[in-house]
Structure 1
């Protein structure tokens, strides 16, 4: 009896309709045969139809015996055509037919003997051959797909979790399914690590290990095939919803005895997965389990290696190994990075890393290494290296010595650690601590945390604190800085300090504190929070500077300026009072003349004259107090005056303020008041220092300038000629335009109660009296420059100053360094060639070495001067010019420092005769 699971597709090629109906009638008589029969009556395109139609059996009539059709039949069979071919004929000699159709025909039937039984046998045979061929082909294809699946998994470079999705995608190539889930076992739960199709929406889903499909597969270590989820009692209802299908297969993912997870494949149709499908999927799950285990081990190993590498990188450590017998040296990438080596660099087994050891450390390192290898199991050496780029680093070499049975060292396993940053930090801290200890300011470091009953504990004070307060370190450590407060400590300032500490902000105040002996000190205190890398305040540092003495000096200066202001006011009144006294005095003198004949009235006039005289004396005292008495200007060298004034200016310096000088080597003589210049310079330096409360540098500079028609606007209102440019520069924050415009106004100040507003107006007045100019300039980098221009007295280009001295050779003899420097500058400007000495005995060797000498300029106070004068008087070819501090009879004398014009004239006169200057 014929049985078939599916309807069969038949094709009949028969031109005769009666024969076609006869075949259909007989096929219908075969029991349990479900079929469809298609009949064609033409051979045109019949072979293309056969190739595309998927027929199980093709019935041909006699016409296929045509040679052309026989060739087509042969080619079809060679191409692996799946349809079986049966020849229906009226011809009685079947042996002849078999010989004719030796290739391509499965069976031969005669119409006259065709019965349902015969046809059933033929159909059964042909369809079995057909099914077997199809089944073999499909299974072979599945095996090929399985091998391809294994190859894809092995060659994939994807990491987790993408690899799980990759597995699910490729499982779908092995069977007819709608969704795939890859569940990985994690301790007591399953995790949907990957999916394909409908399974993708469950990625990342977790569920507990319990009595369900997944746990059953793991526990039984066998495949569970469910042909219909709706009728299978083994399926958990939640899993039915999860599956979104009708049938499925759950396969265990194992490697040896280690469960890894479950592979689930679902189909939307019932009874989808055959036994052959299950076998293929079991092979796939076995392959997947092995690959997952291998990948897991590799990932775990890679993660551990990466963790070790990252740890070594963070700690700046690189491992290495040295075979002491072969000299083979192997190191990690971090070691190469420490030494600055490229990946391709090969270590010399003989020298190993020694070429990189700092030259001064090599002998010590080699001796220590040899000693440790011989006598120790482990060792550590710290030394300096020079990498390939020439950078110097500190490294620690640590190693374990491995020995053979005889105790001979055969191998070293160790690490190099870059300690450069650590050692640099330690040295920086050492330098910082040294600087803090040597500082004249007192430093206090306290905790940021408030301790009940104590406050913020002091953990460090420097030596300056000990000197300032008289407390020893152990007397204040662990206590609060409030112990320095006392009766005169302003409670408002104390409250502001506590508020700043509570808010973790910086603060700068002036407050009175008390030392151990109870003496009060006025100090400038700055409190600053110290933050860690996360921005949290860990400590506070307080910097204390004693300003008691400074405040005394400031008060004295302020008082002096106020008195000067009062004096100026008194001077103004004195001038007006002088005018009144002059009128009264004149009238009284006229009365005195006219009242000579009236003694009684004359007595009252004389009494009034006595009172007037007392008023004149009082007015003189007022003018003297106001410094309005006429002061004759002097011709002075500005550079020399500044050098003389340096000791006074140096008192304005502090620990954070420096004064730098850049004075022109050219002597610049100006007509000015000595006291006026000194007072102006002092005022400008003090203002510059006040502009830099945090400290800085005040620069005083002089320069010789020529002002001509083409000069810029800065010199617009100056006469053409030579000028001394005196500048005082600070590094402060500058000033506003309003302040700049009002800076020279009397009584205008930006210092509040600390200033009088008279310092800069006095500077301005001095500059104007000296026929000069003062300007305020702003520096590009920040800061302010006060520039003063004062006319220089040089004699211009007058030939009487320089003209006749160009070729003279002079010996200058003086032991006064300052005046020798000025005279040398004058001689140089006049174009003379000259030699200087401080001993008169050197005159004559210099004359012999540099003959001919025009003249000798001699200070009479130098050693051996009298003897030199006597000998020079015997040499008329050498003129003698003597100079001294006092007038000497009829000799010529000028006050020092010399004016270059007068100096030149006297020098020229001295060339004509012996002169005492």
Structure 2
């Protein structure tokens, strides 16, 4: 227990001090008894959560030391004091209490004789208020640090901050802000001075921008100002309006910076670029001409090259154009180029052709066309004028480069990035969902123990627990899609697996559908995760059922495929085929995307096929879908053949774990809801639980020397992970039993640990088993 959580007791006469200390100790509250005012003040300086003082101890005593200490508290502190007074009915007690409350400030009066519960509640209330004060101190410190970082960043970027009160039109700004207008730091600078400093050509634009900013629009503009020394400077201004509590615009807050040097550099760069462009144009004009489009150039350049005359008729059509458009040169020469390759882009192409004839070289741009063979091609094109020997324009040239494959590769990359991003998102969602389910299940289990044995109440609780378990099933699907599910592949006889899941599958799809099996006997085992594969088969069967609302036939087949171009090696092919509605090409293309569903809103999660696909990839195989609208669907699961035989099932004796004696367990989790629930379940098991909300706080508790018999920690916590906490805790206390409770099935790459793990969400029975193992292991370790 840290010193700031303890209660100081000053009751030098009678038994009140001893009784109060005993009651607080029984309530697991740290308490220190003081013999005098000086000892009490020393304890307050050392650190305490509250003080409990008998009224008679202050009645004839100089309380100046306490008053001085209270007056010297920082602004965030309001130290709580509980006064044990005589019964309020005694008139001599009232003036004294009033004086003490005026002198000591945050005073709570507890009349004697008091009930133990009243004493404990008063102390808990005082300690809770003290904790909030410490939290306020932390917020104040964090705000101060954030402000310092902001000021440092502004100074580093040579930006000045400013605020404009839109009601009073009062302007305040930093020294750097005033420097942007050539004003001294200590000089007065109001909004009228700002507008007056703006160059006459920019004043109307600046005033309109400020008006729009005060109305709610973002203020972003650059403008010229004239300094008092008559020099001209450029200013970059950015600001946004802040509203008051009632939602009305109140303050325009922003930054300004002097960009004079930048504008000068940009002007010089533009001048140099114009000079370079002029030189390039002169060079290109010298190189253009019909000779540049003849001979080897036309046949060797891997780009389509077309030349046309002033009537826009094709004069040159090189072999690359023949291959791309499927049109030989004789069929094109003399025809209008826009008619030959227009196909929906005719207006744009004609515009580019006429620009070229006007002497303008067009930009490089992408167009998408349909060729005479019906294929869609993406082309990168550019048009330029052609000049004769006398320099006059005699036509134009167009260059085409096929970009179809690159566009297809870019689209595949975008899809891969999208799937990776969604995978990361679903993994994080599943982790947070696990935390919520852990709190729900744990509290429901504790609630079941405390409510009367009413069948209706128990039915309600059972229904809630089943809902939580269904949520856990959805989490499992999300983790499988995100590839964070902890799969346990092992050699499995798929014939036996299909026999085991047959009854459940047939009940799931209903009586309207006939199920047939085409299974090849004596197949080798496959290396799969049995539970996840059963779930995948059920998903495929349910999808098939939904595709046959009027009934139909479902066929389950299993055979071996030894050769495949995309999947080298030996595989078993498990196929689920239906005679349902099937899918068109667009639907089939999106079928395995997460959250994609053709079912009505609320009748499907869109995770079924994506989960099956994720499982197949994790196992080293693949999911292949074949479907046509109106002709049903076949889903093929390609599963790798195992090189090892099926393991025989050996009956294991039930594990017997001795019930440990009551112990003190430190529980660490940054989620307050999970922490509170775990503590309640542990205390319900008869142990004492200590809460910590970060690795740093847990290490402070361990360093205090308090007896800790075991540590239970979450993995994902800000500042320090559960594995890092475990390493440092064992360095402080070798042999301390530690349990890692986490919603992640796989820890991040590179993380190694031998810690036992408890998967979230967990039930109290699972927690009890793991805690018993920890404590029994601690007893068995020699001291």
- What TM-score do you get using the length of structure 1 for normalisation? 0.23
Highest CA radius of gyration, 1 or 2?
1
